[in-house]
Amino acid sequence: MNLDDFSDLIERPDGGVRRDAEERRERFSVPPGALGRLDELGAWLSAAQQAVPVRAVEQPRVVLFAGDHGVAELDVSGRGAGTAHELVRATLDGATPLAVLARRFSVPVRIVDAGLDCDPELLPEAVVRTRVRRGSGRIDVEDALTAEEAEAAVRLGVAVADEEADSGTDLVVLGDLSVGGTTAAATLIAALCGTDASVVTGRGGAGIDDLAWMRKCAAVRDSLRRARPVLGDQLELLATVGGADLAAMTGFLLQCAVRRLPVVLDGVVGAAAALVGQRAAFRAPDWWLAGQLSGEPAQAKALDRMALNPVLDHGVIVGEGCGALLALPFVQAAAALAAELPEREPVAQEDGTDAGKGDAED
């Protein structure tokens, strides 16, 4: 598998349709610019759907990729190594912020086990049946995945994207349930942006103290040394310093772009997978929306590189897709306004014709 092959399969959202949507917006009774980013989002959705007026977002879905990272053994996370399955269980039980919001917004949640480090019996078979391997390797001293596992994880993401597109999902909110994932994500972003470890290392959704942050910086630094020699091959990069969840998310994002399925990104893990995807297919980010600014410096670096402007900046750092889901009502509002606001009545000229219309034929 070569991720660069996606470049030939991905087209940009329809520019002609976007111009039609923008011209229609200029005829609304509400002045252009009065709705701020809602206008921009409505035009983006029109181009993605190839529809003017835009259709309502009626079948959104949250998709969460789950995995454990061996680097968490270095105490770089606020959670213990190998405990991502607890996040999965809490989400399934409706006891996480994401689960509460999804229930309130009536959005179904799908959890995909790409690399959890737990006995499969602890979770429903529908979750664990997709697992590529049990946990990802400790990326500061060993590869996260074998080449075969990296390819299998990308193919898993592609398959999930196809299933969502085929089932009628019209917008995806993408998130992760991982422990150690922000360390791997920071490494990928630092490698792809040519940045030092201290510039991209944050404190994660669970929060860490200063000593843990220094350990995390060291882990990213050591992992970067292993990443730089393989920068020319995105799949090898994911195998070396990524992880099963990150590789699956990369495949998912690329295939969503192939299938013209818009995606709202959440935090730094999704941003890292997206940045790898952009490296493979430069048109792919046109299908993605940054839902929020998570406060992770690596995420801000990746979004800037992809020219993605976050919809929200509200200080939500919990991760797990929560911040991106909060952006969903904003996107749905943009679609409703673009579709339902009335156009101005034509202005009658003195000769009785409508302004802007050509002369009628004799």
Domains defined for the chain, CATH in brackets:
60-330 (3.40.50.10210)
At residue 66, the 3 state secondary structure works out as strand
Position 296: which residue type? E
Q: What is the DSSP string of 272-312?
A: HHHHHHHHH-TTGGGGEEE-B--S-HHHHHHHHHHT---SB
Cβ pair 258, 165 in contact under 8 A: no
Active site residues: 320
Q: What is the DSSP string of 78-119?
A: SS-TT-HHHHHHHHHTT-SHHHHHHHHHT--EEEEEEE--S-
- Helix, strand, coil proportions of the chain in percent (round to 5)? 50, 10, 40
Q: Which residues of the chain have pLDDT under 50?
A: 356-362
pLDDT for res 326: 95
The CA distance from 331 to 142, in Å, is 41
The CA distance from 118 to 134, in Å, is 7
pLDDT for res 358: 45
Kindly report, residue by residue over 14-40, the tens digit of the pLDDT: 999 999 999 998 999 898 889 999 999
Tokens of 73: 């053994």
pLDDT for res 320: 87
